[in-house]
Structure 1
Amino acid sequence: MALGGGTYLVQNKVLPGAYINFISAARASATLSDRGYVAIPIKLNWGPEEEVIKVENADIQKNCFELFGYAYTDEEMKPFRELFKGAKTAYIYRINGGGQKASTVIGDFTITAKCSGTRGNDIKVVINVNVDDASKYDVITYVGSKKVDEQTVSAVEELKDNAFVAFSGTGVLSPTAGVSLMGGTNGIVDGDSYSNFLEKIEPYNFNILAYAGTDSLIKDLFVQFTKRLRDEHGVKFQTVLYRKSDADYEGIISVENKVLDDSNEAALVYWLSGQEAGCEINRSLTNKTYDGEYTIDTDYKQSALESALKTGKLMFHKVGDNVNVLDDINTFVSYTVDKNEDFNSNQVIRVLDQIGNDIAVLFNTKYLGKVQNNESGRIAFWNDLVTYHNQLQAIQAIENFSAEDIIVEKGNDKKSVVVTDYVMPVGVMTKLYMTVIVE
């Protein structure tokens, strides 16, 4: 008679034999998630409308012209250059879409810009007789001085749409030195525009949300959106705004300094948003040197800088020939027993947000609906949490951690798990108190 064997669920076998279960040793599947993600609405003269565009730092220079109608070095792209000084990935939303598309009529056919916006008025189409075949024509599309498309065809019906214009109509082509498209306009920006953006961006994961504008109502809209997602849905990110220190909330960063050489005095938001998003959890922007292109107003007295920090304003100040971040803080200043001054530090918030986001991913992907809520299941979860926190300590994001600082218990019902987690985030050195004793 053959011996029994195989795997077992409960110890109820009858036949003698070896019943062996093969399982993996406990190990954490939670890893430290990447930072560097920004979500921001921007006024643009060209680009996709009513949709969020994912733009990577590694690809922005190559794809900039086709996406937004300008070379990366053009003046119109300065906000992107500021943003990508620190950001790795940006979710861009053209906030002023919905305008008119530029167009023109040549003979019996029409040429229409692919996107609305004033950049469409810089599009020109040239038609030349082909030098090799007089019965055909070279149809060339220019955006500004840049040739973006050339086709050789015999009739209008053969023309193919390109990345910038669409052709329609029928008939015979005729030479032209160049016909410009006209009538392109940008859309009107109002509160509904920003509400639509926030609705579309809500499903995305990002570290920083930003609004580089001065409208008080729009800033309030961003504050309420941030509070709702952080406090009611557990989505951890921070929002960078211009002169909104009265938010008094750890999720809002308010930059005070205005830009002096741009029509948008809030343009410093672009650089700071990229830097806050890209800053690692074991680092701080305190004393970080501004390396962007704007001229920043730093005409503040020492007393004004001290007052600004006390009221939750992130300030830039002169340090020799450089302009540096004075202290990497957010707007939270109403300290309580439950939330002390540590919550004013963006480095601390980055650590806490990282823990919240990463543990949620761990639980939702590995444990939710998959692991039994019994002693062994909770031990497995505890092991993963300990391993994750050891990673944080290894990179000096937290300190003085021990496995006993995490407690995983059964909740009030069979489906609930309660975790108590004691952490001590590490901060950077910002103040020196020194006593020199001379004998």
Structure 2
Amino acid sequence: MSWKTQNKRRPGSYINVVGKGNNNNGTDIGRTLLPVSTSLNWGAKGIIKLNSDSNFKALLGHDIDEPELQTLHEVLKGANTVLLLNNNDGTAAKVTNATLPWTMTAKYPGTLGNNLHVTVEKNDSKVTVSTLFGTKVVDQQVIGVDKPNTLFDNDYVEFKLTSEMTPQPPSSGSDGNDSNGSDGGKTTRASKAPVVMASKLDQLSSDVTVDLTGGTTSPVKISDLLNDALETEDYDVATTAGFPVDSPLHKQLVEEIKHLREDNDIKVRGVIPYTGDKVNYEGISTVANGVVLGDGTELDATVAAGFFAGISSSADAAKSLTYVEYPDAISAYPKFSNDRTIEALENGEIVFTTKRNETVVIEQDINSLTKVTAEKPVFFSKNRVVRTMDTVVTYAKRTFEDMFIGKITNNAAGRDLFKANIVSYLQGLSDADVISDFKEEDITVEAGNDRDSILVNLAVKPLDSMEKLYMTMVVQ
């Protein structure tokens, strides 16, 4: 958390990041938090962890190229992992059939569960149980007629054993009475014939297909889930891509990102489409326009913001996204003129620009900070610089909390140990060209006002990437 005076009560790390100047490498990255912007009618409520190899049909009820997952598709062009926040809830479809030994229930609630069917085909001593989602077979298992308990749940349907046996009618000719002449011809009632039980699967005389029904969707408000996910999940960038520009969710994301960064020292970042409001914050990037894909699909800024969020989450402190290509895009949408591009950049907006070879690039890797101050100089508006600052803060915070709190004595030797750890890390960043001109004297670790606190002062100089060429050529 940030601090103004040394008066904190809770154990923890409290770190201020300020600029010094005039007004003129982590490994666990690539995680993007994305709330769903359309009702999926399937899937678990809450966070669903996805990557490019995920079984989207099973987890979300739709293939990745379907319209419902368009924003997710764009995010995955850049992100390693997407934490999809799903607001699906309701009733799961189910079915029970007297000739079968199971109750079958859709794995998730939602109306898409009504598209599930289960077919049971008998072949001698075996049965083949097939699960269909719509017309597509999504699971198939072969079990013995006498082993219905060996049928396992699949990604779509859960099977609960009910009664694997069924009563059979008495044999032909038996009426439950018997005459016995040994008592002089007197007729007596004999005991009832025992009930004969037989395997339900063994008694099947034909194939059986059942349809799951009763599935309903009652989505919860995504805004109710968002703040909790933002505060509890481990991610690098969160985005409200896919939601209309007038959605209140964008403002909610901005406020929560500010809260996390300023009050909790959790250095996550946010990406939203440009809504017309100036955000003016280094932790938020706004996207001004979209792209046209090679197949003619037009993606506006609300969807294209997903790509920038995904690739931002995967970029480390040594990488700038300036002039990085947008995969599969052939044109910006809409195309901005030179003057409009400059205006957008000065407003702190991400712009997609068409190059002459029909590729589309990110014009400049910036954030929404436009009001420059002594504590937030102009280079705070560059995302590579922000990623560097965030990386250093996050490393110092995690190191202190994992290795020093409650473990190391607050004396000169203990403080020197912490300093040596940070110095070694920063020298690594300097060797990797993330920061420059670092010297051991740039960090001091002293005793704080309280016996259990330390005071650290650190100066770093983040590097940026080349972006402008000024050249004079003299022709003789």
Q: TM-score, normalised by structure 2?
A: 0.76
1:117 maps to which of 85, 93, 110: 110
SS at match of 2:318: coil
Q: 1:340 & 1:304 partners in 2: Cα distance?
A: 24
2:248 corresponding residue in structure 1? 217
**Alignment partner of 1:93 is 2:125:** no
2:119 corresponding residue in structure 1? 126
SS at match of 1:216: coil
**Alignment partner of 1:307 is 2:343:** yes
Contact 2:268 2:283 in 1 (8 A): yes
SS at match of 1:328: coil
CA positional deviation for 1:354: 0.4
1:53 corresponding residue in structure 2? 48
Task: Give the total of aligned pairs.
Answer: 400
The verdict on how the C-alpha distance between 1:294 and 1:208 changes in structure 2, with shifts beyond 3 A counting, is farther
1:197 maps to which of 195, 202, 226: 226
Which range moved further: 72-81 or 372-381? 72-81
Contact 1:61 1:71 in 2 (8 A): no
RMSD: 2.9
1:353-372 Cα deviation digits (max 9, x unpaired): 00110110111122222222
Equivalent position amino acid for 1:99 in 2: G
Structure having the higher Rg: 2
2:272 corresponding residue in structure 1? 241
Q: What are the within-5 Å matches in structure 2 for residues 58-73 of structure 1? A: 60-61=52-53, 63-71=55-63
Q: 2:206 & 2:68 partners in 1: Cα distance?
A: 33
Which range moved further: 275-284 or 426-435? 426-435
Q: What are the within-5 Å matches in structure 2 for residues 219-368 of structure 1? A: 219-244=250-275, 246-258=278-290, 261=297, 266-292=302-328, 296-320=332-356, 321-368=358-405
Contact 1:286 1:328 in 2 (8 A): yes
Which range moved further: 175-184 or 324-333? 175-184
**Alignment partner of 1:37 is 2:31:** yes
Q: 2:474 & 2:346 partners in 1: Cα distance?
A: 32
Q: 1:108 & 1:350 partners in 2: Cα distance?
A: 62
The verdict on how the C-alpha distance between 1:281 and 1:186 changes in structure 2, with shifts beyond 3 A counting, is farther
CA positional deviation for 1:131: 2.2
Q: 1:176 & 1:116 partners in 2: Cα distance?
A: 28
Q: 1:402 & 1:282 partners in 2: Cα distance?
A: 19
1:388-437 Cα deviation digits (max 9, x unpaired): 11111111111121111112222222222111111111111111222223
CA positional deviation for 1:117: 2.8
SS at match of 2:108: strand
CA positional deviation for 1:115: 0.7
The verdict on how the C-alpha distance between 1:367 and 1:256 changes in structure 2, with shifts beyond 3 A counting, is same
Equivalent position amino acid for 1:40 in 2: L
SS at match of 1:253: strand
Which range moved further: 99-108 or 406-415? 99-108
Contact 1:259 1:266 in 2 (8 A): no
Unaligned runs of 5+ in 2: 1-24, 167-199
2:128 corresponding residue in structure 1? 138
Contact 1:33 1:358 in 2 (8 A): no
Equivalent position amino acid for 2:47 in 1: V
Unaligned runs of 5+ in 1: 1-30
1:163 corresponding residue in structure 2? 155
The verdict on how the C-alpha distance between 1:62 and 1:344 changes in structure 2, with shifts beyond 3 A counting, is closer
Q: 1:386 & 1:50 partners in 2: Cα distance?
A: 44
1:432 maps to which of 463, 469, 472: 469
